[in-house]
Amino acid sequence: MATMRCHLSLAPLVVAAALAIASPGFAADVGFSPINHQRIVSFSPSEVWSRVHDFLQNQGFEVVREDQAAGLIESRRLTPAKGALNGFADCPSKLFWSAQHTVTDLNIVIRPAAEGARVTVNAAFLKAGKPGKKGLPELSCVSQGVLEAAVLDVASGQPMEAAVIPH
């Protein structure tokens, strides 16, 4: 009888696990789509640096680390909202879980080029549980290229308003 009770108490867990594994998107990887991460612009690296800094500030990004001599800007934006990555990244779905906040890391490299400056942009997106809580899952998401294109447009001299991204 004790053995039967043990097996019956595991039944809901086994059923939940089977449903999770069988659900579409649970174990599937997010698709990959090629993104243009780099552009040669006709402005000097210092002009691009200034424009990119203005863009980051306007979009609520915190500059985490920068080295102008190396041409590197690392920035981050924390968004305490579900669905904040809609339109920016494709995220795998996970059964029984939803993000409490999203983290967007944006790394920008600005180097001299014969025609002006070479600008390279990489965005990384993460959906996570509540900040500071341990043991909650984090999901990496694949960029759709929207944020990278906005930074490259600003670096190319387009008006800031044309490259504004929704919050």
pLDDT of residue 14: 34
Cα separation, 74 vs 59, whole angstroms: 14
pLDDT digits (tens, 9 = 90+) for 87-108: 777 776 664 455 667 888 999 9
Cα gap 14→16, rounded to integer Å: 6
Q: What is the pLDDT of residue 51?
A: 95
State the pLDDT at residue 21: 35
For the chain, domains (ranges, CATH) are 32-163 (3.30.530)
- Distance (Å) of CA 12 to CA 19, 80, 95, 115, 152: 11, 33, 15, 64, 51
pLDDT in tens, the chain (167 residues): 444 444 444 343 333 333 333 333 333 344 444 567 899 999 999 999 999 999 999 888 999 999 999 999 999 998 776 666 667 777 766 644 556 678 889 999 999 999 999 999 999 888 776 655 565 567 788 888 888 999 999 999 988 777 766 55
The values of phi and psi at residue 95, to 5°, are: -65, 140
